[in-house]
Amino acid sequence: MTEKKLPPGQSWRNDLVVYDINAVPPLDLKDYRLRLFGRLRNPCTLSWEELQGLPRVQVRADFHCVEGWSVPDLVWEGVPASAIVFLTRPEPDVVWVLVHGYDGYTTNVPFAYFARPDTLLAFSLNGAPLPPHHGWPLRLVVPSLYAWKSAKYLVALEFLSELRRGYWEEKGYHDVGDPWREERRWR
């Protein structure tokens, strides 16, 4: 068996490390809403039930943290980002998606990475409902970027025609965050 390839500066570990910037208030799924807004031809707000009615995919991917650890072969299930793109019809000038978490966290994701086939809005991890400390009820998962771009507690996606930095990007983290290019910090 061949060794899996790691991005530069990473080492394997067996499980995810939990990071949060704020305490997460309780949330009842009957009150859950995902707001899709910004430079869209069809902005909308989806309930939990409406989200469950969208197409589903499973994505098996490694998960890379900017702090140097990676977890191999996680299986995420949820709504493919492509279904959100199809539903909302972004304007041609959209180049960024600002991701908003229920805890106040934000991160910017290049639209080209958001629209990739392996990006999804996950509600399941390794065959079980997403655990609360890993982003329940919904987490954006962008396997092609460092984990800080895979925002937990997802409540809104804002489609933008220009760069607006999120929480870590304002503190000097790279705007893109590609682990294969070691795009950790830009300042």
Q: What is the pLDDT along the chain (187 residues), one digit of tens a residue?
A: 456 799 999 999 999 998 888 887 788 999 999 999 999 999 999 999 999 999 999 999 999 999 999 999 999 999 999 999 999 999 999 999 999 999 999 999 999 999 999 999 999 999 999 998 999 999 999 999 999 999 999 999 999 999 999 999 999 999 999 999 999 987 5
What is the pTM for the complete model shown? 0.95
* Tokens at 182, concatenated: 């070691």
Q: Are 36 and 165 in contact (CB under 8 A)?
A: no
Pair of tokens at residue 160: 């933008």
Distance between CA atoms of 49 and 33, rounded to whole angstroms?
10
- 42: its two tokens: 């069809």
All domains of the chain in start order, with CATH: 31-162 (3.90.420.10)
DSSP conformational letter for 79: E
Nearest alpha carbon to residue 135 among 120, 150, 114, 119: 150
DSSP characters over 26-52: P--GGG-EEEEEESBSS-EEEEHHHHH
R_g (Cα) of the chain, nearest Å: 16
Interatomic CA distance for residues 169 and 125, integer angstroms:
26
- Hey, which residues does 157 pair with through a beta bridge? 36, 99
Q: How far apart are CA 167 and CA 148, in angstroms?
A: 10
- Strand (E) or helix (H) holding 86: helix 81-88
| Nearby residues of 133 by Cβ (< 8 Å), 6 or more positions away | 18, 20
